[in-house]
A and B are shown apart, each in its own frame.
Chain A
Amino acid sequence: MSVSRGSTGAPPVPAGAEPGVIHDIGYRRYTGRRLGRAQIIRALYWHSLRSAYGLGRGAKAKIVPVLAFAIMCLPAIVNAVSMSQGGGRIVDYDTYTNQLRVVVMIIFIAAQAPELVSRDLRSHVLPLYFCRPLRRLDYPVAKLAAFITACLVIIEIPLLLLYLGTVAQVHSGSAVWDQTRALIPGLLVGLMWSVLLAAIGLALASLTGRRAYATGSIAIYFFLTWILAGILIAVTQRNVVRTVNVKPPPGAPLPPGVPAGGTVQAHVVTQVPTTATHLVGLVSPFTTLDGVRQWLGGTSVGPVPGVAGYGALYGAMLLVLLAVSLAGLAARYRKAGSL
């Protein structure tokens, strides 16, 4: 090997002197202030929130979250248009077109939760995170906070749009106040949705490093249980037949034996929920959320036809789902050294 030309400035070591000198070629250690654990958590939170919407990645990463957000805003826009044309309001704050919200949230969570946690697992960067002053639980806490925020954005902003669209149409101060009072519970329901769904989504996604499996598992869990709950609610209701006296509309042909202006007996069939109907909502997180909403005083019509006395059960189920998800996340990242 040829003799090295020597580093800048320093002469090569003459033969016979000690071997091995480290030359000063300008390398400096960082001696400034190092930000602590709080800043790391904040940075992790912010970075995760951005990646939940595909910011900081290419255009392809933005398609699904932006599309989901746009679809979620549609009812607010349609409602504003309909009200401006004199029609009544068609979307309320409490449930906000439940079916659409469920579908959009399933897509958003199934597509984006893996972006937050599965990527890090696949590329094995967790040991790098944890050799910084970051405690084991800080990582899932930051990720969860970021994902809850991301879900809040996609749930609450359309509600606010709905509010603004409605408020722009009414003209009296008391009407605005009414709207505001109606909005608040809607926002709180949205908060409940965000916290529970984000926790479940992240917990499921953290089980695997492959984004495709994570998306598949989340989709199966949410979609399957939701349709299942819907079907069970429909089939467990009872048909009740009531006999009522009704006055036939003028001009309609009268059955024999009925004087003009008299009443007719008619059979009315209604669906009445049974005990089973009240309980099957526990199967799906979406109907559980609706059950809790009704238990806490929500009156709008939702997928669950009334909770009767079982409201507390729905509340308990909500807490159980949340607790299991949080415990799962904590357990997953506690042994992060091997991940």
Chain B
Amino acid sequence: MDGAFNRVVASITLRAAFGRKRALLFALPAVILILLTLILKEARPPGAPWPGRVLGDFGFSVVLSLTALIIGTSVLGAEIDEGSIVHLLATPVRRSSVIVTKFVIGAVLTMVFVAVPELIAGLIVSGGVSKLAIGLFVGALAGSVVYNAVFVMLSVLTTRAIAVGLLYVLVWEVVLGNFVGGAKLLSVQQYGLGVANSIAHYSALNAGLGLSTALIMGVIVTVVTLVLATRRLSEFSLKGDAV
């Protein structure tokens, strides 16, 4: 049972995620993505090929990263912030189990709120099942997994996980990723786009990495961040009243 998915932890995490209004925030970017796709499909604008921009730039830069940020930082971050994590940790449950369970829940939720809408948008664009739609779907799945690992780790490392995550997404991925080639190697968006492009072969997606690079880096980042997160969680400390 060591390090395995823990159903009790999963149930608390799911209930916490949907118990409040914050669940609306999860859905908002995805809804906008689909609406936008529908509108543009109807309007047939004359300019630059819009599917690449909407499904690639908007879909991966905004919808995937922001939704994963909100979900990934709240599956563990909310409990740490409130202090209720103590009740979870004052039991023999394995710390690795806690991290893995929350990571899986976060990844699955992100897949539901991002990968599925991307698939739907892809289907709308192509008018049916196509390499583009499948590629986007799989790419978003991969991105969801790696993003959640990173953000769960951030939640354990700092109380300002969402601000740091935002710095990462905006400064590292969006700004530096466009200007500095090497930054793409550590950019989760690029892993997702790389996987998507390997199936869709759609140059307008602006994928910077090939499939093998994206997969290898994605797996490395996921494993490293989850291991780090587990170690830090097993050293979780409560401050005394004097400090």
- Report A's interface with B, CB cutoff 8 A: 60, 64, 67, 71, 99-100, 103, 106-107, 110-111, 210, 212-213, 215-217, 219-220, 223-224, 227-228, 230-231, 234-239, 271, 274, 276-277
Contact = CB atoms under 8 A, between A and B. Distances in A.
Nearest to B73: A212
A227 to B, nearest CB: 5
Interface in B25-43: 25, 28-29, 32, 36, 40
A236 B49 CA distance: 10
A115 B170 CA distance: 20
A180 B164 CA distance: 37
B22 to A, nearest CB: 6
A235 B50 contact: yes
B236 interface: no
A236 B171 CA distance: 27
What 4 A-B pairs are tightest by C-beta distance, nearest first?
Answer: A235-B50, A237-B47, A111-B163, A235-B47
B48 A227 contact: no
A133 B164 CA distance: 38
A277 B44 CA distance: 14
Interface residues on B, range: 35 or more
Interface stretch (B1-9, B57-65, B121-129, B189-197): B57-65
Contact of B48 (A60, A99, A234): A234
Interface string B56-76: 011001100010011001100
A64 B170 contact: no
Contacts of B171: 71, 103, 107
B163 A223 contact: no
Contacts of A212: 73-74, 77-78, 81, 161-162
B25 A216 contact: yes
Interface string B198-226: 00000000000000000000000000000
Contacts, number: 103
Interface string B142-175: 0000000000000000101111101100110011
Contacts of A71: 171
B100 to A, nearest CB: 22
A219 B163 CA distance: 9
B45 interface: yes
B114 interface: no
A212 B174 CA distance: 21
Given A106-B170, A220-B25, A236 B66 contact: no
B46 interface: yes
Nearest to B78: A212
26 contacts: A60-B158, A103-B170, A107-B166, A107-B167, A107-B170, A110-B166, A111-B166, A212-B161, A215-B166, A216-B22, A216-B25, A216-B66, A216-B70, A219-B66, A219-B162, A220-B25, A223-B66, A227-B58, A227-B62, A228-B36, A234-B53, A235-B40, A235-B47, A235-B49, A237-B46, A237-B48
B32 to A, nearest CB: 7
Interface of B: 22, 25, 28-29, 32, 36, 40, 45-50, 53-54, 57-58, 61-62, 66, 69-70, 73-74, 77-78, 81, 158, 160-164, 166-167, 170-171, 174-175
A303 to B, nearest CB: 14
* Chain B at the A interface: SS class: helix
A230 B34 CA distance: 17
A99 B171 CA distance: 11
Contacts of B58: 227-228, 231
Contacts of B167: 64, 67, 107
A220 B29 contact: yes
B175 A223 contact: no
Contacts of A110: 163, 166
Contacts of B162: 212, 215-216, 219
Contacts of B160: 60, 64, 111
A64 B53 contact: no
Nearest to A226: B62
Contacts of A67: 167
A217 B40 contact: no
A227 B61 contact: yes
A219 B40 CA distance: 24
Contacts of A231: 50, 53-54, 57-58
Contacts of A228: 32, 36, 58, 62
A238 B28 CA distance: 30
A237 B48 CA distance: 7
A97 to B, nearest CB: 10
A227 B60 CA distance: 11
Contact of A220 (B40, B48, B66, B175): B66
A111 B54 CA distance: 27
Given A234-B47, A274-B46, A215 B66 contact: no
